[in-house]
Every structure is written in structure tokens, then in C-alpha cells.
Amino acid sequence: MSGSASDLLKFIDESPTPFHVVAQSQKLLNNAGFQILNEVDSWKGKIQPGGKYFYHRNKSTLVAFTVGNKYKPGNEFKVIGAHTDSPVLKVKPVSKKTANGYLQVGVECYGGGLWHTWFDRDLTLAGCVVVKQDDGHFIRRLVNLKKPMLRIPNLCIHLQDQTERASFVVNKETHLQPILAMVEQDLNKDGDERHHSLLLQMIADNLSISVDSIVDLELSLADTQPGATWGPKDEFLSCPRLDNQVHCYTGLSALLSHKVEEDTGISMLVAFDHEEVGSDSAQGAGSHVMSEAISSILGTFDTCDELLKITVRKSLLISADVAHAIHPNYADKHEKNHPPQLNKGTVIKTNQNQRYATNAETGFLIRELARNADVPVQEFVVRNDRPCGSTIGPIIASKVGIRTVDLGIPSLSMHSIRETMGCADVITNIKLFEQFYNEFGALDSKCDF
């Protein structure tokens, strides 16, 4: 993986769901010599200095790390935290709907999407399917239909009254149910009581299995339009799910290129599921995933609780999530001294009400790493009269006690079905993360805070 804007777009095109993000990452990690671990097994004797490892939870949260050749228990963990999920429409457990001659698929809103951007798009289905095998065992298979299969059409303009024309208001329950087909295509077919037989047949054909072997599914709608660079100089890129697959990608790129020979610490990427809905799940940032990752690794070295506390105090988490770039048509939405721009570098996010976890110490460490890496950084503070979003940063900082900084690549159209970033920011963000993995331990040793 070269760590480029074009490679980012390829990564996202093949990752319509968190399950696919983890699967894509696993392929790259396997190719780079990382060994897979299992959380239900003992790790005693499996983790050694110089080693590279990864594991997943629910196939939607990923933990990957390298152990420096010069690592000793009690040394620092250098963690980049991102999230695999994005605002999306998810297929309901009972999705079969019909209305006025159309087959429709019942969907549920996941997260806080800009749902009006989902109208008049070529949509498909992707996710995971629970399959019963001939031997009676059950496995999960990933599915990505890719072909346009569904659409949420806008209401024709002449059927709208003046109020509807002036302000497009989406009723999330009644207006967002996509069209799949005409009713006659599903007549006289036996099928699952919960889902249209046509939908199940499409999935079965994609996986080369029988419909009867499908026992459950977790599917999302996804845009079929590939990502693209644009502008006279191709300086911008647009695609779905940049929030926050971009930092899954940049964090993974930095970890794959990291050299362990002189490393004294643990370099880690954790990409959590469920950030967009609050992180409170078994595989979200509000779970024990982060603390268990640290304690499980230390436990393989027969360490004590005291060393765990020391390790946490020496470590740093980068909470990497996209930032709000200034919009030229809505510049008054930004605080005038903190207007992040595309292609001007990674944004350090600060909020004194702890919606972001950056403080003087952690902000300084990132600014100094950026200076040493010769990459630009920008500052963001939300206006006092505007609400501030939050990230996994404060959640993990409060639960684990690890020093944390919030940062991210600036973005336009955040939470749209198609978001926009600057191509140069992808490259400089990777360089900053590489510097973090390579130099944080040495820099921190010079700081007497």
C-alpha cells in the first residue's frame, strides 16, 4: 500500500461496510507478515519483540500492532484510534414492504446522516450474511452486490407545495424507504417471511449459495458511484464514508510502513465500530477493547498491575476523526481564527468542554512531531454559539486514563453520502502518523511535564 489518494479511494470503494474495512485491512496485514490472534485463546508465548499482530472483534473492530525490537514491559504504547462505521441506512430485521405496486426494503437510519443526499442515488446492498453449511456449522460471509439495486426517488416538483419546494424536510420513517422492484417480479415465489425472496435470491446468487442456507443477515445500503479525484489539478477527492475510513486507511498505512528494529514501544492501530451511534457496544470505544488490548499484551510478559499503570502513563492515543473544513459559502459558521482549509494539513481539535480530549501537553506533542516531520497542522475550535461534535477521544481518555489528542483531516460535506477532502492532506496525515510511531517515545522522554 503506497499511501496515496488513489489507493485511499480503492480502499474505500472495496469497503462499503465496517465488515469490509476489517476484511480489507486483514488482507493488507497478512501480506505484510502480521500474525492473527484470537481473543478466545491465550496469548502466552505468542507475542515477542519484533513481532507484528492483529485481531478483530465482531469482524467490525480491528486491533493491529507491532512490538519494537527494543520493547520492554512498561514502555510506551503509541495508539492511533479511528472508527470503521459511517452514517448509513441499514436493512431492518423485517424488511419486506410493498406499496402501490412497488417492492420496497424497510431501512433504519444509523447515525446522523445528511439523509437528503441519499435521494436519487444508485444504491446497492452490502454487509454480512450468516450461512448454514452442509455440515450443520454456521459461518459469516461478506456480500457486496455492487450493481445498482435500489433507489430513493425525490418527489416530482409539480407534486410539491410551496413549503416543500422552499425547504426539503425528510421524514426518516416514511420518505427513506427505497424501491427495489415492481410487485409482479416477486409474485408466486416462496420466501423468508422477513425479507423479499427477490432480495434473498440476489444475495444467494452473489455468494453462490442456496437461498435456504441464508439464516440471517446484516445489510446496509451503499452508493455505487466510485470515488474520484477532481479539480483542474486533481487536488480534491470525493467518495462515500471518508468519515472515518480515511483514518482507518492512513493509520493502517503508517503502521504497515513502520520499522520495528529501533522501536522501544508498541505501535498500534485500533479501528472501532459504532462511533456514529455513541460507541456503547461490545466493539465500540466505550467497551473494554482499548484497555484489554494493553493489558492482554502486557500479560504475555508476566507483568504486574504496577507496570500496567506505568505503561498507560507513558502512552499516547491519537483520536483520529475527520474535521470540519471551512465552507466558502458558509464561512460564518466557523470561528474566524480557526478556519481549517483543505490541503493545508491535519487539524488539531480543541474544546475546553471536553468534547475533544486535546490539552496543552498532548497538543504540543503533536505539533512538535509535525514540525519534525515537516508537515503542516491547523487548529480548530468551534464557535461558542455552535454545538460541538465529539469523538472516541474523550471516551477512551476517561475510561483508560491514557493521554489523548484529537485530530483529523479537514472535510467538506461531512455525513453526506459523498464527502470531500484534499488529496495532499491524505499524504501529510500519513507522514504525521509515521512520525508518531517512529519518534514519540524519544520526544516524550525529553518532556518533563
Maximum pairwise Cα distance, the chain: 75
The pLDDT of residue 31 is above 60: yes
Contact between 237 and 7 (Cβ < 8 Å): no
The pLDDT of residue 2 is above 80: no
> Which of 54-63, 184-193, 314-323 has the lowest average pLDDT?
184-193
Whose cell is 493545508? That residue is 344
Average pLDDT over residues 384-398: 95
Distance CA 90, CA 16 (A): 12
Average pLDDT over residues 259-286: 97
The pLDDT of residue 189 is above 70: no
**Residue predicted with more confidence, 443 or 193:** 443
The pLDDT confidence band at residue 186, using thresholds 50, 70 and 90, is: low
Q: What are the beta bridge partners of residue 57? A: 61
Predicted pLDDT of residue 3: 81
The pLDDT confidence band at residue 304, using thresholds 50, 70 and 90, is: confident
C-alpha cell at 139: 459461518
The pLDDT confidence band at residue 192, using thresholds 50, 70 and 90, is: low
| Short-list 342, 314, 287, CA closest to 71 | 314
What residue spans define the domains of the chain?
5-86+240-445, 88-223
Query: Which CATH number is 5-86+240-445 given?
Result: 3.40.630.10
The pLDDT of residue 105 is above 80: yes
Distance CA 411, CA 69 (A): 37
CATH architecture of the domain covering 88-223: Roll (2.30)
The pLDDT of residue 191 is above 70: no
What confidence tens digit (pLDDT) does each residue in 48-85 have?
A: 999 999 999 999 999 999 999 999 999 999 999 999 99
Distance CA 105, CA 117 (A): 18
- Respond yes or no on whether the N-terminal peptide bond of residue 429 is cis (omega within 30° of 0): no
Predicted pLDDT of residue 157: 94
**Residue predicted with more confidence, 192 or 147:** 147
Query: What separation in angstroms does the CA of 121 have from each of 118, 149, 330, 419?
Result: 6, 10, 25, 14
Task: Give percent above pLDDT 70 in the chain.
Answer: 98
The pLDDT of residue 392 is above 80: yes
Predicted pLDDT of residue 185: 59
The pLDDT of residue 136 is above 80: yes
Average pLDDT over residues 198-225: 97
What 3 state SS string does the chain have? CCCCHHHHHHHHHCCCCHHHHHHHHHHHHHHCCCEECCCCCCCCCCCCCCCEEEEEECCCEEEEEEECCCCCCCCCEEEEEEECCCCEEEEEEEEEEEECCEEEEEEEEECCCCHHHHCCCCEEEEEEEEEECCCCCEEEEEEECCCCCEECCCCCHHHCCHHHHHCCCCCCCCCCCCEEEEHHHHCCCCCCCCCCHHHHHHHHHHHCCCHHHEEEEEEEEEECCCCEEECCCCCEEEECCHHHHHHHHHHHHHHHHCCCCCCCCEEEEEEECCHHHCCCCCCCCCCCHHHHHHHHHHHCCCCCHHHHHHHHHHCEEEEECCEECCCCCCHHHCCCCCCCCCCCCEEEECCCCCCCCCCHHHHHHHHHHHHHHCCCEEEECCCCCCCCCCCHHHHHHHHHCCEEEEEECEEECCCCCCEEEEHHHHHHHHHHHHHHHHHHHHHHHCCCC
Contact between 190 and 138 (Cβ < 8 Å): no
Burial class from Cβ neighbours inside 10 Å (0-12, 13-18, 19+) for residue 187 reads: exposed
β-strand pairing of 123-132 with 346-349:
unpaired
The pLDDT confidence band at residue 190, using thresholds 50, 70 and 90, is: low
Provide the residue type at 77 as one letter: F
The pLDDT confidence band at residue 303, using thresholds 50, 70 and 90, is: confident
The pLDDT confidence band at residue 187, using thresholds 50, 70 and 90, is: low
Average pLDDT over residues 9-29: 98
Question: How confident is the prediction for the chain on average, in pLDDT?
Answer: 95
The pLDDT of residue 184 is above 80: no
The pLDDT of residue 1 is above 80: no
C-alpha cell at 349: 481539535
